[in-house]
Structure 1
């Protein structure tokens, strides 16, 4: 512990408040608000508004998000090998909001195509473009933090700040999307999602370009990447068995967090047959997520000392609540909301706490290889996260299709579809939480903690 205090003292004043805020509000601000709306409402928009069959919508999500996962390692290698007068990771923050705003807006535009195949092709192309843009900025965004900051304390503080911003915009996106899009519809817009995305884009421009400006000269803790075939760098990381539990944990966290939001609209609309309660229920989840990130996560980190322990405790509590809700969630709506709120408070922080494992992995590879692999490791985490997203986005629709789900048939779903809705909402996140706990608790990387502290002390002294 004394050694870690030495690390924190050496680098205490190296980053500005502006850098912290722009790092927190770039990927987690306007961009995350777009992601929140897309994650919770786009699948329903495809099946119920565009009238794309659930099986075809599932195929769209599978192909797009699988490709999104595959290109993450490519982007990580590209980011690590970027050489420019602006730095290694900073240039990507210039182009991110431009492409992001374009694709996030275009996926909501209904051109009135008569052919289902044409609709599918258009949505697929635009959704792939959106996903590739997210990949383009996500890898550099994750990689620049350990490149600029050596102290675990400061890293965790910035991660917590970003988590709070993320939770806030998710609350807005999930609770008020219907009100916001409805407002735009009432003032003459054919599709309220389009102006909503454009407004999100304005915030994305401010935060990403702010991060570009405030990160100038901050990429201090880097060494030249190894020359050779790009796949060699990925293999150099994945050859260590210590990395694999973290990779699995990232997949499970992505699935657990994604299902919490992506299944909720379907759950209330069809399992409860109360579409009028969707804004209330989404608000319960979003406010719970906000409290989780802003209030409870810092408390968990302080009480349990490390991100790993905080993650374990929060997941264990969430699983207990999910099991209760699986068997008794339809007993009473107030009961459902209360337990859902508590579970959101404990479960939501997983999406931020797993980022601690990214920094741990970066430090571990630096210890073992003496080389910076920030971008590659961030991309591997991104790949794992996108694999989780692929399973969630396409898996939900695939399971519903197999179960006999009927789009628009409120109160008339078959029993098989009702069971599937309940399982997707509470059963599946329980399973992902159990696997996540096993991976983190049994991680072989933990035994290198003291050696990593020594390494960071020496780096801080240079």
Structure 2
């Protein structure tokens, strides 16, 4: 008689805390920073656009570089709680501290303020690395089934969309309400403290509910050997490029929207309305369309392809006709965002594909290293989306606060970075997806995964 393994069931508590940790209030903090932080630095603190671009480039580049370090460290961490779980305890505390620091106006002059925010932003980004790499790594360690992994990724995508909707659309209103409630002039501070406290609940819940079951025992070989064995697989390069492009496209969506409405349309009074349209489009994308696309198109790669093609058509319309009518702008922006936002979640499927591929070809569990490579690629995309618009604006003569008085070159840059650049990143993704190495080994990888046993009852690593 055939010996069938019991069907894997989804742990609801784990799924909830996994989805609400990185993608919960920590994501809302990221959404607020992505949408409003650059304008805070230029319009409130008084830094120049080019100096902010330099700050973003340095800090985000370092953030990308330290991701592989964190992945290697996480894969070799030895504690009685496991490799990845211990990092979920201190990370939200540091997150709260740095999030509060970023919304100050220290009054140290141009140079002093620049160094203050460089240090604070690097600290924030290193904290994000501290929890993101282990969070991505613990999913394939806790869940073996592709279908269940995709469900958890889908839950996280939904949480991301909700947090981005609230953070991008209502942050200013919430900030003002909390400022009045607590009698403080800077409402960002109580908002960051509340979000940080809630992030502690979700990360500590993930620590309590996660198990590292499907990873090999910690090896004696040096950790640099794992990195070499992974990097020799040049066929994984398309994954890296896709991760960079997806991050750039998603980041530009939020990093340029406020600038677009304030200066390209010259309607700062419509910022909250437009950001609500963008955020609701992202919400529909993650909560409604993502599971439909995965069900209809069967694989993450096919769903990603359809998403890129359809959203690029909308972006082309917006590039040429977006400023003709605000209702037209909002309707087509909503459709484009609903079709495009899922891309940032769909590329997470490729992380699990890469982990399985390395385990199939090399026989090693390198969840942290693969997650860190994805993190490195994502941060490189963030570097571009955070700094390139400001760098270009600085070159063409952008003047902070000059609503309705920007030159033609500035207006072109704003329009291109908002709607033209995502078309280019999408076309690059489509090209790279043609070389996915997992496709031809799919059946063999599924057979390998069916033979992986549960290590949760093994002795704890010490």
Q: TM bucket by the smaller chain?
A: over 0.9
- Cα deviation per residue 1:38-86 (whole Å; 9 max; x = unaligned)? 0110001000100000111011101110000000000000000001011
Deviation at 1:460? 5.0
Gapped runs of 5+ residues in structure 2? Answer: 456-462
Q: How does 1:143-162 map to 2 (within 5 A)?
A: 143-162=137-156
Deviation at 1:344, TM superposition (A): 0.6
- Note if contact 2:214-2:453 (Cα within 8 Å) is conserved in structure 1: no
CA displacement at 1:131 relative to structure 2: 0.2
Bigger drift between 244-253 and 223-232 goes to 223-232
Structure 1 consecutive aligned stretches of length 4 or more whose deviation exceeds 4 Å: 225-229
Matched, 1:352 2:349: no
Q: Look up the match of 1:193.
A: 188
Deviation at 1:226, TM superposition (A): 4.9
1:68 aligns with 2:63: yes
* Whole-angstrom distance in 1 between the partners of 2:220 and 2:240: 25
1:132 aligns with 2:126: yes
Structure-1 separation of matches of 2:6 and 2:138:
19
- Of 351, 366, 369, the residue aligned with 1:376 is 369
Instruction: State the distance in 1 between where 2:218 and 2:431 align.
Output: 33
User: What is the SS of the residue equivalent to 1:444?
Assistant: coil
Instruction: Kindly indicate whether the alpha-carbon contact (under 8 Å) linking 1:11 and 1:150 is maintained by their aligned counterparts in 2.
Output: no
Residues in 2 aligned to 1:230 and 1:67: alpha-carbon distance in whole angstroms: 21
Q: How many residue pairs get matched?
A: 452
TM-score after normalising by structure 1: 0.96
Determine whether 1:388 maps to 2:381: yes
2:280 equivalent to 1:287: yes
Q: Distance in 2 between matches of 1:250 and 1:10?
A: 34
Superposed CA RMSD in Å reads 1.4
Displacement of 1:182 after TM fit? Answer: 1.6
Pair 1:404 & 2:397 matched? yes
Aligned to 1:243: 236
Aligned equivalents of 1:428 and 1:227: distance in 2? 46
Deviations 1:127-149 (A, max 9, x none): 00000000001000000000111
Match of 2:85 in 1: 90
1:214-293 correspondence runs (5 A):
214-215=209-210, 218-293=211-286
8 Å contact kept, 1:103–1:129:
yes
2-structure distance, mates of 1:304, 1:139? 29
Match in the other structure for 1:3: none
Deviation at 1:26, TM superposition (A): 0.4
Cα deviation per residue 1:166-202 (whole Å; 9 max; x = unaligned)? 1001000011011111213334212111111111111
After TM superposition, give the deviation of residue 445 of structure 1 in Å. 2.8
Q: How far off its partner does 1:227 sit?
A: 4.2
Contiguous gaps of at least 5 residues in structure 1 = 1-5
Give the distance between the partners of 2:71 and 2:250, measured in 1 at CA.
Answer: 23
SS for the counterpart of 2:304 is: helix
Q: Give the whole-Å Cα distance in 1 for the aligned partners of 2:189 and 2:313.
A: 40
Which region of structure 1 is more displaced relative to structure 2, 80-89 or 230-239? 230-239
Aligned partners of 1:271, 1:37: CA distance in 2, in Å?
21
**TM-fit CA distance, 1:20:** 0.5
